[in-house]
Structures are given as C-alpha cells and as structure tokens.
Structure 1
C-alpha cells in the first residue's frame, strides 16, 4: 500500500507563518530606518538595510516553499542555506543595534 500525502492545512499554515514573520521584520526594518533618519547613525542605516534584506529573503523563501508544497506529492525540505543566511543576518542586525546604543 502506497503512502499518500496528507491534504491537511499544515503547509498553508506554515507559509502564512513565514509571511507573517517577514511582515513583522519589514515593520522592524522600517522602525530602524526611521531611527536612522532621525539620528543619522551609520550603524542604524546598516541595521535597517540588513533587516530589509532579511525580510526579502524570508518572503522569497516562503513563496518558494509554497510553490514546492503545492506542486509535488512529496515536497523537498526547505533550503538550509537560505535559512542559515536569514539567521546570520538577524544576528548581525542585533549586534549592530546593540553597538549603536
């Protein structure tokens, strides 16, 4: 007997969670950008750029994952490189913001 993929909503919930996270990161990037404009701090400009770049990576990962889940019977695992890159950028932003204050 062949196993078939469960047609539940887990994949859709996962993609929605990735999109919510990307949106939250975008809001944080906008707030850091606003602080950079007000204070003229170079480290905040760098942090805002990194957060917005991580947001784009997260959104692209969510979109690619949604395509993979909707087109195949047995979807592949998410790309580990993109996830590691997003984590690294997030840590760099945290360090930059900590140094700025």
Structure 2
C-alpha cells in the first residue's frame, strides 16, 4: 500500500468560516458600542472604534492566513498563538461591554 497524504477535506474552510463568524460578532459588538456612545460618551465611542479596528484586523489576518496556506493548513488557523489572541480579544470586548452596561 502506498502512503498518501491526509486529505483535510473541508476542515480548513469550516475553520475559516468559524473565525469569520467570531470576527463578525465582534464587529457588530463594536458597532453597538459606537452607537451607544454617539453624542453622549466619548469613552464609549472610543471603545467602539477600538473594537471595530481590532475586529476588522482579526478578519483580515485570518483571511490572509487562509489565502497564504491555500486553504490546506488547518493548523495555521488553529495555532495556539492565534487562539490566545482571539481569546484575549473576546475578553477585552467583554470588559468593554461590561463597562458600557455599568455606566449606562
């Protein structure tokens, strides 16, 4: 029997879509923070802008990794450092949201 390389199937594409859903949720969150601060709070407006920029950066970075690996390297999108950055981003956004709710 000849040894064959493992076929990743659709796993890279599913991983990319999961990252994009996460980024989209963070983008929506940033937009809501921005809207809640419009005209009333410069801090909320600033937090909304920061979240939007970070979320769009996350979207662009994941798309770039996927294109660079031609969709065949699942481990690149699921790398430990990428997961740490995403978890940190979600935590920061959660803290921003908590601030927005408490100061409402």
- Which residue does the alignment assign to 1:42? 42
Answer yes or no: is 1:97 the counterpart of 2:97: no
- Which residue does the alignment assign to 1:28? 29
Alignment RMSD, CA only? 2.8
Q: Number of paired residues?
A: 100
- Kindly provide the CA deviation profile for residues 27-62 of structure 1, in whole angstroms up to 9, marking residues without a partner as x: 221121111114x21221122022102212210222
Would the aligned equivalents of 2:12 and 2:73 in 1 still touch at CA under 8 Å? no
Structure 1, unmatched stretches of 5+, are none
User: 21-30 or 67-76: which moved more?
Assistant: 67-76
Higher relative contact order (CA closer than 8 Å, sequence separation 6+): 1
- CA gap 1:96/1:17 in 2 versus in 1, 3 angstroms: same
Would the aligned equivalents of 1:29 and 1:52 in 2 still touch at CA under 8 Å? yes
State how far apart, in whole Å, the 2-side matches of 1:12 and 1:72 are: 9
Residues 1-101 of structure 1 aligned to structure 2 (within 5 Å): 2=3, 4-38=5-39, 40-70=40-70, 76=76, 78=79, 80=81, 82-83=85-86, 86-87=89-90, 89-101=92-104
Structure 1 ranges of 4+ moved more than 3 A: 71-79, 81-85
Structure 2, unmatched stretches of 5+, are none
TM-score (norm 2): 0.68
